[in-house]
Amino acid sequence: MRRALALAASPGVPLHPNPRVGCVLLADDGTVVGEGFHHGAGTPHAEVEALRVAGERARGATAIVTLEPCNHTGRTGPCAQALIAAGVRRVVIAQRDPNPLASGGMETLLEAGLEVEAGLLTDEAEEVNRAWTFAHRNGRPFVTWKFATTLDGRSAASDGSSRWVSSLPARRDTHLLRGLCDTMMVGTGTVEADDPQLTVRDDDDRPLANQPLRVVMGDRDLPAERRIFDDAAPTVHLRTHDPVEALRTLYADHDRHHVFLEGGPTLAAAFLKAGVVDEVVAYVAPLLLGSGRSAVGRLGIRSIDKALRLEITDTTVVGEGTDANVRLLLRPTRKES
């Protein structure tokens, strides 16, 4: 199973819209007769690729697969039926499929007389597809809120200047994180004030070929010439102030699994108050301003015992010397919704 997980996480495999899956086929004597992984939407699934490698050796073999074989016909046929047709005797599954459109493969295999076990290295398998799994279980995308701040919690100086709060290495690091998500979101206020293009760019400031969906949240009309509406990437304007409604729309209507929240303090506060921030990435600069815009808006918290508490899961220094930021990776100390 660890080999199957390594295959699933092969470099270059897209994180979305499909889950990453690995499969290993074993003969009765433990010999590997085939292995494969899903390369992305529209390509053969991991089980099908492993069966192709194995050929006739798949008959009587054990399939070790990181995700329950699919039970539906999409761009490809159902993997559960492919395993049955190939004569596989036993299937060991790490994670049950949380997607109701594709689940049920385990029951199909059992009905066909195959031996089936599930639950081996489940946590590790879920981590391979963290956002995808979360989205299907919760009916909304996983939300990462990113912001840059000075040591005293300011995201911009009192004159509005803010670009220099985060260092160049931190901004480059942000683009790497953006590229892991399928959606980037800001509010109408940020579009009006900063006119961001909201694209993923390389170290030479060139847009990458595959861009996340750009989302603007808010009711107000915006000028068509704003850069977020250019042809560099698709854009959706969600005319709502309700974070829960916005996320459900992105999941149900746009098949989105991971939102990278980059709006200003007002939008951040709305998501925090709604309890739909699942991860926080904070770039802390070794600067003091004493005044200026806060990193987050009013949360309605008046007492320290009501503070929204975060657990630090990782700390990394990005850059060197005066051009360094500390990147904190945090998660709210609450149960997932």
Residues forming the active site: 47
Name the region of 90 (left: φ>0; alpha: ψ -120 to 50; beta: rest). beta
Cα(164)–Cα(184) distance, integer angstroms: 21
User: What DSSP state is assigned to residue 153?
Assistant: S
Distances 94 to 54, 125, 255, 327 between C-alpha atoms, Å: 21, 6, 24, 32
Q: Which residues contact 219 (CB under 8 A, 6 or more apart)?
A: 188, 239, 240, 241
Residue 100: asked if its preceding bond is cis (omega within 30°), the reply is: no
Torsions phi, psi for 149 (to 5 deg)? -150, 155
The dihedral over CA atoms of 68, 74, 76, 78, expressed in degrees to the nearest 10, equals: 40
Position 110, amino acid:
L
Q: Which residues contact 163 (CB under 8 A, 6 or more apart)?
A: none
Q: Which helix (H) or strand (E) holds 147?
A: strand 142-150
3-state secondary structure of 63: strand
Residue the block writes with tokens 């049955």: 84
Position 156, amino acid:
A
Cα(94)–Cα(305) distance, integer angstroms: 40
Q: Are 215 and 183 in contact (CB under 8 A)?
A: yes
Distance in Å from the first CA to the final CA of the chain: 29
Cα(228)–Cα(211) distance, integer angstroms: 12
